Amino acid sequence: MELQSGGELLFCAHHAREHGDKLKEIAANVVDETHKLSGTSAPAPEAER
């Protein structure tokens, strides 16, 4: 995601979905690459949640 101010932000799919609507309000360009994710993945370890 490129911000209108010129910066760039990268998000995991989970957080992009969670905050997507608000982020799109401040974005100049949004690139959604969730289609590149494989079918299922292991959940994050409890310490990382």
Query: pLDDT per residue over 4-33, tens digit each?
Result: 888 898 888 888 889 889 988 888 998 888
> What is d(CA 49, CA 46) in angstroms, rounded to the nearest whole number?
5
> What is d(CA 26, CA 23) in angstroms, rounded to the nearest whole number?
6
| Of the candidates 36, 35, 32, the residue with the CA atom closest to the CA atom of residue 16 | 32
Q: Residue 36 — pLDDT band, cuts 50, 70, 90?
A: confident
> So what's the pLDDT on residue 23?
86
Non-local (6+) Cβ contacts of 29 within 8 A are 1, 2
0.85 exceeded by pTM: no
Tokens of 25: 């309000």
